[in-house]
């Protein structure tokens, strides 16, 4: 069994069998119509007892990762490659490894011809602005954070659903990061009984203006790269084609969108009426741009916060993110952080009145017998306060002053009869 890849096709590899590795490679490299620069190389080869059976097992294991039109081709990224190898090696008919190329050696950098700034009607200032923006947005989600959150929801919510990861590149090479969202759903496609996974990727990412948007579609019948995505597609979540997918196809949107465009992203997703599970800044719950959504019950917090992202050099960066969703959240474990007590039982140092005579309570203490609006920080909201019979009373953040001195921003809530 072997896994072979052409140097100019970083998102695919071929998995096959032969009794003569050298001859098979020559055949690949002599294929008619193939460019001379597109050199095939083995990434892995191993001896097996009955290659027919092992090949069949691979096909059955990864139906959604085989190309729809050419079933010998499999979707490639560095992590999935390791999964393929591990699967073949774990097969009872596997005998021994012959070739294995480490991740470093198989990274391909596909250089694209960059049109001049003039051709693209872009000034140097635009480039700097764009670069600045890109720098701010390139925080990638760690796989374990995606896994930790998604595991909290009922598996059945994904069944027969079309999942749309609309800020996600599922291909890993040196220039980009594989999306952990894409990877999670690809690895768990069968188990979650997903109907379709659509990943679209913005063309204006790290390689600035020259990449062009991309889209990948995965179904039980295989993967398709491109068919639905014409050249000129920007890959932006608000590109007309992305909006059409959102409107006509998507059941659940799942991603970590660009921080710099979060307000527009939230508006787009919430107005679409679709289900979503997304990451955003932890302070959104006390940010005036988002408070109305929480107030109207159009969004609530997911289960977990996120303390680390990866930058484009794959280094950990400290950040404060949180999951937000309109999927059902059950038995939120963080309810236990809420200290709902009678006002007189709340320690003095955690309650005070501001210059407007508004009660401020801190440290997740919540009065259960206080009839008027009071101000809290983001933490009680993140811990599920709005599901405990408390309602947001004002569409904008509340900035208290004590003796004329500004205190940190909060949100005004009040005990209401509603309790869920």
Ligand X SMILES: C[S@@+](CC[C@H](N)C(=O)[O-])C[C@H]1O[C@@H](n2cnc3c(N)ncnc32)[C@H](O)[C@@H]1O
320/402 with CB nearer ligand X: 320
Q: Does 167 bind ligand X (CB under 6 A)?
A: yes
Distance of CA 119 to the CA centre of its chain: 33
Q: Which pair of structure tokens corresponds to residue 150? A: 């998604």
Q: Does 255 bind ligand X (CB under 6 A)?
A: yes
42/259 with CB nearer ligand X: 259
181/300 with CB nearer ligand X: 181
CB of 324 to ligand X, least distance (A): 14
Of residues 172-231, those binding ligand X (CB under 6 A):
179-181, 202, 205
Region of 72-80, 112-120, 134-142, 225-233 interacting with ligand X (CB under 6 A): 134-142
- Angle at Cα 377 formed by Cα 376 and Cα 380, nearest 5°? 80
Give the three-class secondary structure for 320: strand
CB of 166 to ligand X, least distance (A): 6
Binding mask 17-56 for ligand X (x = CB under 6 A): ----------------------------------------
Q: What is the DSSP string of 181-241?
A: HHHHHHHTTTTTT-SEEEEEE-TTSTTTTSS--EEEEEETTEEEESTT--TT----TTSHH
Structural contact between residues 322 and 302, judged by C-beta atoms closer than 8 angstroms: yes
138/149 with CB nearer ligand X: 138
CB of 188 to ligand X, least distance (A): 16
CB of 29 to ligand X, least distance (A): 34
215/258 with CB nearer ligand X: 258
- Largest Cα–Cα distance of the chain, in whole Å? 84
Q: Which of 5, 45, 168, 415 binds ligand X (CB under 6 A)?
A: 168
77/141 with CB nearer ligand X: 141
CB of 326 to ligand X, least distance (A): 19
Structural contact between residues 55 and 1, judged by C-beta atoms closer than 8 angstroms: yes
CB of 132 to ligand X, least distance (A): 12
CB of 360 to ligand X, least distance (A): 33
What is the number of alpha carbons within 13 Å of residue 21 lying toward its C-beta? 15
Q: Which of 15, 137, 185, 301 binds ligand X (CB under 6 A)?
A: 137
Q: Which pair of structure tokens corresponds to residue 62? A: 């990864």
Question: Residue 253 contacts by C-beta under 8 Å, 6 or more apart in sequence?
Answer: 163, 164, 165, 166, 246, 269, 272, 274, 275, 276, 277, 278
CB of 111 to ligand X, least distance (A): 19
CB of 243 to ligand X, least distance (A): 11
236/284 with CB nearer ligand X: 236
Cα separation, 110 vs 9, whole angstroms: 8
Structural contact between residues 331 and 338, judged by C-beta atoms closer than 8 angstroms: no
Q: Does 74 bind ligand X (CB under 6 A)?
A: no
CB of 331 to ligand X, least distance (A): 26
Cα separation, 355 vs 47, whole angstroms: 78
Q: Which of 77, 173, 256, 326 binds ligand X (CB under 6 A)?
A: 256
Q: Which of 2, 81, 140, 390 binds ligand X (CB under 6 A)?
A: 140
Cα separation, 41 vs 339, whole angstroms: 61
Region of 138-146, 343-351, 364-372, 409-417 interacting with ligand X (CB under 6 A): 138-146
Structural contact between residues 146 and 180, judged by C-beta atoms closer than 8 angstroms: yes
236/301 with CB nearer ligand X: 236
What is the number of alpha carbons within 13 Å of residue 133 lying toward its C-beta? 15
Cα separation, 73 vs 56, whole angstroms: 14
Cα separation, 14 vs 290, whole angstroms: 46
CB of 134 to ligand X, least distance (A): 6
Cα separation, 262 vs 281, whole angstroms: 9
163/340 with CB nearer ligand X: 163
182/400 with CB nearer ligand X: 182
164/293 with CB nearer ligand X: 164
Helix (H) or strand (E) holding 402: strand 401-402
Residues at the contact surface with ligand X, assessed by CB under 6 A: 137-141, 167-168, 179-181, 202, 205, 236-237, 255-259, 261
């Amino acid at each position: 069994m072997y896994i072979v890849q052409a140097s100019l096709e970083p998102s695919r590899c071929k998995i096959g069998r032969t009794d003569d590795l050298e001859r098979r490679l020559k055949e690949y490299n002599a294929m008619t119509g193939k460019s001379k620069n597109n050199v095939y190389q083995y990434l892995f080869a191993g001896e097996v007892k009955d290659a027919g059976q092992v090949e069949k097992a691979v096909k059955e294991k990864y139906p959604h990762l085989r190309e729809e039109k050419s079933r010998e081709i499999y979707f490639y990224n560095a992590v999935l490659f390791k999964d393929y190898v591990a699967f073949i090696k774990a097969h009872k008919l596997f005998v021994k490894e012959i070739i294995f190329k480490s991740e470093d050696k198989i990274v391909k950098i596909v250089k694209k011809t960059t049109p001049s700034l003039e051709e693209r009607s872009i000034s140097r200032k635009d480039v700097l602005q764009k670069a600045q923006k890109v720098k701010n947005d390139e925080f990638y989600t760690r796989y374990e954070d995606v896994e930790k959150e998604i595991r909290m929801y009922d598996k059945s919510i994904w069944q027969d659903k079309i999942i749309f990861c609309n800020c996600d590149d599922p291909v890993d090479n040196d220039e980009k990061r594989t999306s952990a969202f894409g990877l999670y759903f690809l690895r768990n496609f069968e188990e979650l009984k997903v109907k379709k996974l659509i990943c679209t990727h913005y063309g204006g990412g790290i390689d600035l203006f020259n990449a062009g948007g991309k889209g990948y579609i995965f179904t039980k019948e295989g993967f398709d790269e491109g068919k639905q995505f014409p050249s000129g597609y920007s890959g932006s979540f608000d590109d007309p084609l992305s909006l059409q997918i959102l409107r006509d196809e998507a059941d659940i949107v799942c991603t970590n969108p660009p921080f710099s465009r979060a307000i527009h992203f939230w508006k787009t997703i919430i107005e679409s009426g679709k289900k979503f599970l997304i990451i955003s800044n932890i302070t959104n719950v006390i940010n005036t741009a988002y408070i109305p959504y929480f107030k109207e019950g159009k969004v609530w917090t997911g289960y977990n916060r996120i303390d680390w992202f990866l930058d484009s050099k794959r280094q950990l960066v400290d950040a404060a993110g949180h999951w937000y969703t309109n999927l059902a959240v059950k038995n939120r474990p963080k309810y236990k952080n809420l200290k709902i007590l009678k006002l007189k039982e709340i320690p003095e140092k955690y309650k005070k009145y501001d210059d407007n005579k508004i009660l401020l309570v801190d440290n997740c203490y919540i009065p259960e017998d206080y009839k008027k609006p009071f101000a809290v920080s983001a933490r009680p909201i993140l811990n599920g306060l709005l599901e405990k019979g408390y309602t947001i009373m004002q569409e904008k953040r509340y900035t208290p002053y004590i003796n004329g001195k500004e205190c940190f921003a909060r949100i005004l809530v009040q005990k209401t009869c509603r309790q869920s």
